[in-house]
Amino acid sequence: MPETVLQARQSATPATPAVPVAGPTRRPSRSRGLRGALPTWLVRHGGTVLAGAVLLLVITAAVTPHLLAPGDPLLSVPSHRLRPPGPQHWFGTDQLGRDLYARIVYGAGRSLTATTLAVGIALGVGSVLGLLAGAVGGTVDTVLMRTVDVLLSVPSLLLSLALVTALGFGTVNVAIAVGVSLVASFARVMRSEVLRVKHAPYIEAARASGVRPAGILARHILPNSVLPVLSLAAVEFGGAVLAISALSFLGFGAAPPTPEWGSLIADGRNYLATAWWLSTLPGLVIVATVLAANVLARALAPEEHR
């Protein structure tokens, strides 16, 4: 009887279907993965790549302008006066028959040099003031921050105009004036970062272990506070380009016939009805440079500081 029940149960139990044995799995080729990931990365970061390409082109024009424009930016050909953009003159010619493309390329060096000097002055002076105000505190902090508040209360362009009037005309003086007008922003950011880092646990541990205040300032506070200030310097680069071009447009920059981006726009404002390219094309170059600098600066900034 038990054998009969066992046979009945075995016959009632459904047979387990055979599972086909899979062959060896083929891993996707690495080259295919890279080819598939590259377009996706370009779609996500296309703006950053384009901004980097624009800045690389502008920096090349500033460092080695003869590679992009072999012609002489000061050469005047009266017979080519006010020619529109074409195959012979890509950006047209000005009222004296000079090639506008060559003048824009050679003007990049002077404009970017002034911008770099202005941002460097603002970064150096502002970082020192903010570091002293945040680290020392007390009366020093009060005096420095009230001075910074006075600088922030004055529009930067108005302050730059006042300073360049006192210093005199010229590219270097324009850069100094713009740099001083940007000092207050760097000082405020540095001070806030120093105050945040100064009360961190590892700073208290360094004090308890007998490290001198100067060592704490140089080894711990400054390295951990400088990154947001550097991010601000990258963001302010575009604004400095605009400020220097504006002062050059007003006639405070280099003396003619030296090309500068702002002065090129000023030279063409009397010919807007008949030669639109004289002011429009240098203006578009400035806009492209400023936008590229801002996009790249925000892309390179840390996630928490964007």
pLDDT reported for residue 302? 59
Residue range 4-25, pLDDT digits in tens = 544 545 554 555 555 455 445 5
Q: Is residue 229 part of a domain?
A: yes
Which of 33-42, 130-139, 217-226 is the least confident region? Answer: 33-42
Residue burial 201-233, b: 16+ Cβ < 10 Å; e: rest: eebeebeeeeeeeeebbeebbbebbbebbbbbb
Residue 32 lies in a domain: no
Does 12 reside within a domain? no
13 within a domain of the structure (yes/no): no
Residue type for position 299? A
pLDDT in tens, 242-271: 999 999 999 898 888 889 999 999 999 889
Residue appearing with tokens 């405020």:
188
| 76 close to 97: Cβ distance less than 8 angstroms | yes
Residue 122 in any domain: the answer is: yes
Please tell me whether residue 301 adopts helix, strand or coil conformation. Answer: coil
- Write the pLDDT tens digit of every residue in 63-115: 999 999 888 898 998 999 999 999 988 999 999 999 999 999 999 999 999 99
pLDDT band at 205 (very low <50, low <70, confident <90, very high): confident
State the residue range of the domain holding 107: 47-305
For residue 15, tell me if it sits in a domain: no
In angstroms, the CA 206 to CA 198 distance is 11
The amino acid at residue 113 is T
Instruction: Report residue 94 as tokens.
Output: 């000005």
**Is-above-0.85 flag for pTM?**
no
Question: Is residue 25, in this structure, part of any structural domain at all?
Answer: no
Name the pLDDT band for 220 (thresholds 50, 70, 90).
confident
* Residue 99 Rama label (left phi>0; alpha psi -120 to 50; beta): beta
Tens digit of pLDDT for each residue in 106-139? 999 999 999 999 999 999 999 999 999 988 888 9
Burial of 37 per CB tally in 10 Å (0-12, 13-18, 19+)? exposed
The mean predicted confidence, pLDDT, of the chain is 84
**Exposed/middle/buried for 133, CB within 10 Å: 0-12, 13-18, 19+?**
buried
Q: Is residue 14 classed as helix, strand or coil in its secondary structure?
A: coil
List residues bridging with 93 in a β-sheet.
99
Give the chain's domain count. 1
The answer to whether residue 72 sits within a structural domain is yes
Please write the tens of the pLDDT for every residue from 148-201.
999 988 888 889 999 998 988 889 999 999 999 999 999 999 999 998 888 888
CATH number at residue 54: 1.10.3720.10
